[in-house]
Structures are given as structure tokens and as C-alpha cells.
Amino acid sequence: MRSEIRVIEAAAVERRFSASQIIVICKERANRLFVVSEGCLNYSSVTDDGREILLGRLVPGDAFGIATFLSEPGCYLGTAKAVCDTTVFFWDYRLIRQLATAYPRLAENGMRIALRSVALHVERHVALVSKSARERVACALARLGTRGGRVLPTGIEVDIKNEDLASLADVSLFTASRLVTLWERKGILEKSRGRVLIRSPERLLAA
Amino acid sequence: MRSEIRVIEAAAVERRFSASQIIVICKERANRLFVVSEGCLNYSSVTDDGREILLGRLVPGDAFGIATFLSEPGCYLGTAKAVCDTTVFFWDYRLIRQLATAYPRLAENGMRIALRSVALHVERHVALVSKSARERVACALARLGTRGGRVLPTGIEVDIKNEDLASLADVSLFTASRLVTLWERKGILEKSRGRVLIRSPERLLAA
DNA sequence: CGGAATCTTGAGCGGCTTCAAAACCTGTGG
DNA sequence: CCACAGGTTTTGAAGCCGCTCAAGATTCCG
């Protein structure tokens, strides 16, 4: 089991992407499995009229390209774009299939990731239908903080533009901006271009 | 391969549910894998304030309880309730785990189902954010027609209440009703209590 | 310094939702 | 066979949340 991991790790290729570089494109054939190692990236789909919809923010430990586990490979469900300098590991399709048959626990992990993804989407859907814009933005910010936020003595720092935050919470850029400045006035957080410092996650969610 | 299917089928238990009976409950431990054999059922989650959100309409061939494929079993993501008289096959957790290790193709099918589910949720999410209520209801109705609709000489018949249609399209009951009566006036469909007869799916989607 | 991103702020409006009430359909039991 | 009760559907009127649009302010970087 320990040795399994060593073999799989040894087979990985490491690649570095700089900010705003694109790693995979939505709807293209999924011929690689990726795992984020460092940095973070936006995973997004697009509407018919070309607007970008953030499906999620991927941080170290997150994977995409799970469709590589299937015998007839599917497609990437989103476009992955590096937010900051980011390194990923990847495995080619053939390789993943071999490893997955050799080590069934690998395939099971893929399944676990896929199911968690379904659960997240269901949760987001329910929130979108039943919660207010304010709650959704607060929740999105808080989640960004707990996943991939830098812990500073003064609070939790997150790299996010208002536009991306808006898309994550399914809200217009303007309402996101208004909410953030409102919270800043209340001292719940501090905002600067492309970054948010969350001083009090509790008060954020309580609002 | 042929024999695999026979073994798996032989291990299944068949069960009949009558209309509006509940088969599994949201968030309970997933200790069975189900496949719909006949009839149809609603798969739904709930909001904090108790409103029901339809995640999907399951028809023969559809499965739920995929979390049984994991070594530590997860939960059902929704409550399954029979819409009409419905029969399902199911396998207990232990059994599925044994079958899945004996026949890797079974586990792969589970993965395929999970990934399709993610894709469907992404599609619905994008539609919810970018399309109008009218388009979403039309699309939901059309999908109901192509999956599990009865083909009649005069059109495609679907068993659906306005309330359920509304929830599937993420629209209030009232706007769903208004749209359906509008389309009825135009001759695109006919509505009666709990049933819709789609005369022209093309004109429905074109609207 | 200039230009490009990003962010703020205000005003107006519109698509849906909400609420209320009435009409309708369907099966049930007297 | 009729009346009634339950669930379902229709319709209207009112209102609001969040979006759109426009313009300006701010920050960043080459």
C-alpha cells in the first residue's frame, strides 16, 4: 500500500504553469488525470453566450480529469486556468488505466472524488435556489478561506477577484462588490485588489 | 462477460413500491445500490426551510445509491419516492463490494454513472444561471419526454405534476403553470391533472 | 506617465416570486 | 348518484431582489 503510492507517484509528470495559463479546455477529450500540487486554479464552464461560470476553485490535493478512469474516455467538464503560479502532477490516459487495474484503490479514489463532486454540486444547487445572494457570497468566501486560504495572525487571506467571487456565488459582479464593501465597513474583512483578508469568518456567516 | 451479468442479475433482489412510497431517504447511510426496473420515481433533496428540490426524475435503467461502491459507505444524496407503481432491483452493500472486486467492469459502470451525474448537474447549473425561466421549463419538459415518456400516435405523454415540473426547472409553481397554459393555448401541448401530452417538442424548444 | 484591469456607486427596471383566492378535478363514502 | 373533501391548477395583483447599464474612481504595471 505504501509501495503502491510510491509507484504511482514515480509515474507522475510534474508541470508548472504561470498565472492565467490554461491547463485543459472544457469539452476536450480527457486524456490526462491531473492533481494540483501547489498554487490554485479556476475550473469553469461557459454559457451559450460566452459568459464564464466558475464551477470551483481547485487547490493542492484536488484532482480533475477523472474521466480518464473510464474505458472510453470522456471529456473535461470545465476549463482549468491557473490563478497564480501553479504546479500540477499528471498521468496520461493509458498509464492511469494500467495503474487503476493494477491498484484498485486508485480507481476507488477516483470514484470517491466523483461522488464528492456530485454532492458539492447538489449543495450548491440547493443554496442557489433557497438562499439569498448575501448568504451565498458569504458562504463562498468562507469556503475559500477554509480551503486554500493563507492563515495569517490577523485573519485568513484569500486570492480572489470580485468577479470570480461573484461567479462562484452565482451573483452579479456588482452585488458581490457591494456586499464586500459593506462587510469591510463592518470590519469583518479587508479588501484589496485581488485579495480578501477575512478577519472574522464567524461574523461573516452569521450576517 | 455475458456470464458476469447473469451472476449479478441473479444476486439482485426485486421490490415493488406503490405510488408515493419512499424508497430511500436523503442523508441516510447508503447501504444498498438500486436500479429502476419499471415505473419512475422522484429523486429530491430539501432546503433548510423544508422545501423539496427535485434533483431528477429516475426512469428504468437509472441507478441510485452509487456510494455503495466506496469502502467506507457514504450517504444517499436524495430521497427517492415512487411517482407511480414502480419496481426496482437492489443489492446490499456487502454484496456490491464483493461483486465490484470480482468484476471490475461493474465498478467502472458505477464510475460512469457518477461522472454522468456530475455532467448533468453542471449543465443544469449553467442553465439555471444563464437561461430564462421559459427556456428552463421547456427544456425540462422536453427531457422528460425523451426519457421515460410514453410515445402515443398523437404525441409524447409524460406523468408530471406542475409542482414537480416547476421544481425540476427551478421555477415557482405559478410560472410553470402560466407557461404550460400558454403553450396549451398555442397547441404545442395538452395538459390534464398530473399528465402532459407534448404534441410538438420542436415548437416547445423553439419558443 | 499612460493605459488596462479592477473595483465602486447610483439609478432604474424587470422577470419572477409571493400571496390570496377561486375554480377545478377526482376519488370516496354515504 | 350526489355531495364533499383533498389535492391540484389557474389567475390576478403587488412587490422585491438582484440585474443591467453607465460612469467614475482606483490600483497596478510596463
pLDDT at A128: 97
Give the per-residue SS3 of chain B. Answer: CHHHHHHHHHHCEEEEECCCCEEECCCCECCEEEEEEECCEEEEEECCCCCEEEEEEECCCCEECHHHHCCCCCECCCEEEECCCEEEEEEEHHHHHHHHHHCHHHHHHHHHHHHHHHHHHHHHHHHHHHCCHHHHHHHHHHHHHHCCCEEECCEEEEECCHHHHHHHHCCCHHHHHHHHHHHHHCCCEEEECCEEEECCHHHHHHC
What is the DSSP secondary structure assignment for residue A70, as one 8-state letter? S
Question: Per residue in B127-154, is it b (16+ CB within 10 Å) or e — as a string?
Answer: bbebbebbebbbbbbbbbbebbbeeeee
The CB density around residue A64, as the number of other CB atoms within 10 Å, is 27
What is the C-alpha to C-alpha distance for residues A164 and A144, in angstroms, rounded to an integer?
11
Round and report the angstrom distance from CA (A133) to C1' (D17).
Answer: 9
pLDDT at B68: 97
Q: Do residue A114 and residue B119 have CB atoms under 8 angstroms apart?
A: no
What is the C-alpha to C-alpha distance for residues A151 and A147, in angstroms, rounded to an integer?
11
Question: Per residue in A113-132, is it b (16+ CB within 10 Å) or e — as a string?
Answer: bbbebbeebbebbbbbebbe
Q: Do residue B108 and residue A69 have CB atoms under 8 angstroms apart?
A: yes
Q: Return the closest-CA partner of residue B171 out of B139, B147, B143, B202.
A: B139
Which three cell numbers mark A36? 494540483
Of B53, B112, B126, the CB nearest to A126: B53
What is the DSSP secondary structure assignment for residue A159, as one 8-state letter? E
Closest CA of chain B from A153, distance in Å: 34
**Is pTM beyond 0.75 here?**
yes
B42: which strand partners? B57, B81
Of A101, A110, A119, the CB nearest to B77: A119
Give the residues of chain B that fall short of pLDDT 50: none
Q: Which residues of A touch B (CB under 8 A)?
A: 45-49, 51, 53, 55, 66-67, 69-71, 74, 77-78, 101, 104, 107-108, 110-112, 114-115, 117-119, 121-122, 124-126, 128-130, 170
Q: Do residue A107 and residue B110 have CB atoms under 8 angstroms apart?
A: no
Give the residues of chain A that fall short of pLDDT 70: 1
Round and report the angstrom distance from CA (B159) to C1' (D5).
Answer: 24
pLDDT at B3: 82
Of B101, B108, B117, the CB nearest to A118: B117
Listed as ranges, the nucleotides of chain C within 7 A of a protein C-beta are 6-11, 15-20, 25-26
Pick out the nucleotide with least CA–C1' distance to B195: D8
Pick out the nucleotide with least CA–C1' distance to B184: D10
Round and report the angstrom distance from CA (B200) to C1' (C23).
Answer: 28
Q: Return the closest-CA partner of residue A168 out of A88, A66, A78, A90.
A: A78
Q: Do residue B124 and residue A125 have CB atoms under 8 angstroms apart?
A: yes
Q: Return the closest-CA partner of residue A63 out of A76, A54, A72.
A: A76
What is the C-alpha to C-alpha distance for residues A103 and A97, in angstroms, rounded to an integer?
10
pLDDT at A122: 98
Q: Is the CB of A185 under 7 A from strand C?
A: no
What is the DSSP secondary structure assignment for residue A189, as one 8-state letter? E
Q: Do residue A108 and residue B49 have CB atoms under 8 angstroms apart?
A: no
What is the C-alpha to C-alpha distance for residues A181 and A167, in angstroms, rounded to an integer?
17
Which three cell numbers mark B106? 461493474
- Collapsed DSSP state (helix, strand, coil) of residue A123: helix
Which three cell numbers mark B25? 431517504
Give the CB-side neighbour count of residue A30, counting CA atoms within 13 A. 25
CA–chain centroid gap for B81, Å, is 10
Of A46, A71, A112, the CB nearest to B108: A71
Q: Do residue A77 and residue B130 have CB atoms under 8 angstroms apart?
A: no
Q: Do residue A119 and residue B170 have CB atoms under 8 angstroms apart?
A: no
Which three cell numbers mark B32? 444498498
Whether B108 and A71 have beta carbons less than 8 Å apart is answered as yes
Whether A38 and A61 have beta carbons less than 8 Å apart is answered as no
Q: Residue A184, exposed/middle/buried by CB under 10 A (0-12, 13-18, 19+)?
A: middle
A38: which strand partners? A87
Which three cell numbers mark B171? 421555477
pLDDT at A4: 83
pLDDT at B82: 95
Q: Report H helices in chain A.
A: 2-11, 93-102, 104-130, 133-146, 162-169, 173-185, 201-206
Q: Return the closest-CA partner of residue B43 out of B88, B6, B10.
A: B88
Which residue of B47, B76, B118 to mutate against A (max A Cβ within 10 Å)? B118
What is the C-alpha to C-alpha distance for residues A6 and B192, in angstroms, rounded to an integer?
63
pLDDT at B2: 73
Closest CA of chain A from B145, distance in Å: 23
pLDDT at B91: 97
